[in-house]
Structure formats: C-alpha cells, structure tokens
Amino acid sequence: MLVVGSVVIRVNDLHRQIRFWSEALNFAAREPVDVDFALLSSADGRGPNVSLDAVPAPRVLPPRIHLDFYAEDQQAEVERLAKLGASEVHWDKRPADADYVIMQDPEGNRFCVIDASDWAGWVHRRPGTRERRSRG
C-alpha cells in the first residue's frame, strides 16, 4: 500500500517560501530546518506534508504537475493568498464558468484554488472532528 507522504516543491529562497507556505496552509516547519530543505506539516498530522527543496530547477510552463487546493470560500482564500504574496495567473483558455483560480506562489510555482464549497469532506476537516475510517 502507498500513501502520499509529502509533496516536494523546488524553491530558490527557502526561508521566504517557508513563511509563505506555512501561512498559506497553516502548517509548521519541522525543526531543525536544514540549509536547503524543510518539511512542513499540519498541526493535527492530517494529509500529506509539503517539503521545500532549495535546489535550482528550471521553471517549466505549463508545469507538468500542480496542486489543487479545495476552498470552502474560494474568493476569501484567493484574497488571503494574494496578501501572503501569491498572484493570480490569467489564462486565455480558462472557461468563464471555471470552478478554479490559477495562482502562483512568490517564486512562480503554480497551484489552483478550487471552489469546493459543496464538498462533503468539509465535515471531516473542521477542528475537533476526526476522520472516520471504515473497516470492511
């Protein structure tokens, strides 16, 4: 069996990206932070970690992979992320009724903020609730 343990993002300025991604996801860096690598995780241990790897890498557009973040309030999250240093990416082929907003972090790593206001999984993500695992 496999589970996603961490998603690794290549970065140039490790400390700036630690600040951005920690605030964006409400994650904390595991101490000690290496000079070229940091592992960020949620306080409750749910979901995969985000690892930041300070290794020079050419930027590829469009990216071969990106993250989709589900948002209960998409507009509020897009505004919050912009205040943290993210920016919206305009794409000519984006449908007018798209449920996603393309953004990039301060270094240009792209991700999408998905309008998931009707996602049933929110009930398991609220503070104080635990995911139920079925046996069977």
Q: Range of 89's domain?
A: 66-125
Which of 10, 32, 55 represents a domain boundary (last residue)? Answer: 55
Give alpha helix (H) positions in the chain.
14-25, 74-84, 122-125
Q: pTM of the entire structure?
A: 0.86
Quote the pLDDT of residue 41.
Answer: 97
Neighbours of 88 (CB within 10 A): 13
Number of domains observed in the structure of the chain? 2
Look at residue 134 and tell me if it is in a domain: no
Torsions phi, psi for 85 (to 5 deg): 120, -5
Same domain, residue pair 72 and 51: no
Residue length, the chain? Answer: 136
- Note the pLDDT tens digit of each residue in 3-56: 999 999 999 999 999 999 999 999 999 999 999 999 999 988 888 999 999 998
